[in-house]
Structure 1
Amino acid sequence: MNTDSPSPAESETPLPVEIGEFLTHLEKERDLSPNTLQAYRRDLREFASWLAATHGIAGWEWNELTRTNIRGYMAHLTRRGLAKRSIARQLSAVRSFYRWMHRDERVDVNPARAVGSPKLPRTLPAYLDRTQAETLMQHAATRAQSLEFTDVRNLAMLELFYSSGLRLSELRGVDLADLDLVSQQVKVRGKGRKERIVPLGDHAQRALRNYLVKRDALIAQASGGAVGRRVARGAVFLSERGARISARAVQHAMVTLMSAVSEGADLTTHSLRHTFATHLVDAGADLRAVQELLGHASISTTQIYTHTSVDRLKKVYRQAHPRA
Structure 2
Amino acid sequence: MKRPAIPDPVIVPLTGGKEAPKVHPAKVTAPADLRQTKVDEFIAARALKPKSEQAYRRDLQGFMEWTQQAWANVSRRQVAQFKQYLLQERKLAPNSVNRILRTLKTFYKWMLESEYISSDPTTGVKQEKVPEAQSKELEEEEVEQIYAAIEEVSRDPVRDRALFSVLLHGLRAEEAINLNFEDYDGQQVVIREAKHDSVGEVPLTRQAREDLNAYVQQRQIQAESTGQKVTDESPLFVSNSNRSRGQRLTYWGVQEVMSQLAEHTGIDLHAHRGRHTFCTNLIVKLEMDTALAMELSRHRDIRSFKRYTNRKNKLAAKRAFLKATNQLE
In the superposition, the TM-score normalised over structure 2's length comes to 0.77
1:152 aligns with: 158
AA partner of residue 160 (structure 2) = N
Change (3 A) 1:82 1:217: same
The correspondence for 1:70, drawn from 79, 85, 93, is 79
Change (3 A) 1:130 1:277: same
2:15 aligns with: none
Change (3 A) 1:46 1:307: same
Task: Summarize deviations over 1:63-116 as a string: whole Å, max 9, x none.
Answer: 121211211111111222111111111101111122222222222232223211
Higher Cα radius of gyration: 2
**Structure 2: where are the runs of 5+ without partners?**
1-32
SS at match of 1:198: strand
Q: Which aligned pairs between 1:251-266 and structure 2 lie closer than 5 A?
A: 251-263=255-267, 265=268
May I ask how many residue pairs the two structures share in their alignment? 288
The question of whether the paired residues in 1 share the 8 Å contact of 2:198 and 2:300 is answered with no
2:219 aligns with: 215
2:58 aligns with: 42
Change (3 A) 1:37 1:215: farther
* Distance in 1, Cα, partners of 2:233 & 2:38: 40
Deviation at 1:119, TM superposition (A): 0.8
AA partner of residue 193 (structure 2) = R
Deviation at 1:40, TM superposition (A): 1.8
2:270 aligns with: 268
1:55 aligns with: none
Change (3 A) 1:319 1:121: closer
Change (3 A) 1:254 1:223: farther
2:70 aligns with: 61
The question of whether the paired residues in 2 share the 8 Å contact of 1:127 and 1:272 is answered with yes
% identical equivalent positions = 26
Instruction: Say whether 1:246 aligns with 2:246.
Output: no
Change (3 A) 1:177 1:107: farther
Instruction: Say whether 1:173 aligns with 2:178.
Output: yes
The question of whether the paired residues in 1 share the 8 Å contact of 2:180 and 2:232 is answered with no
Deviation at 1:255, TM superposition (A): 2.8
Q: Which aligned pairs between 1:245-324 and structure 2 lie closer than 5 A?
A: 245-263=249-267, 265=268, 267-283=269-285, 284-309=287-312, 310-316=314-320, 318-319=322-323
Change (3 A) 1:102 1:143: same
* Structure in which a larger fraction of residues adopt helix: 1
Deviation at 1:217, TM superposition (A): 4.1
The question of whether the paired residues in 2 share the 8 Å contact of 1:47 and 1:73 is answered with yes
**Structure 1: where are the runs of 5+ without partners?**
1-12, 53-59
Instruction: Say whether 1:127 aligns with 2:133.
Output: no
SS at match of 2:122: helix
CA RMSD of aligned residues (A): 3.0
The question of whether the paired residues in 2 share the 8 Å contact of 1:185 and 1:198 is answered with yes
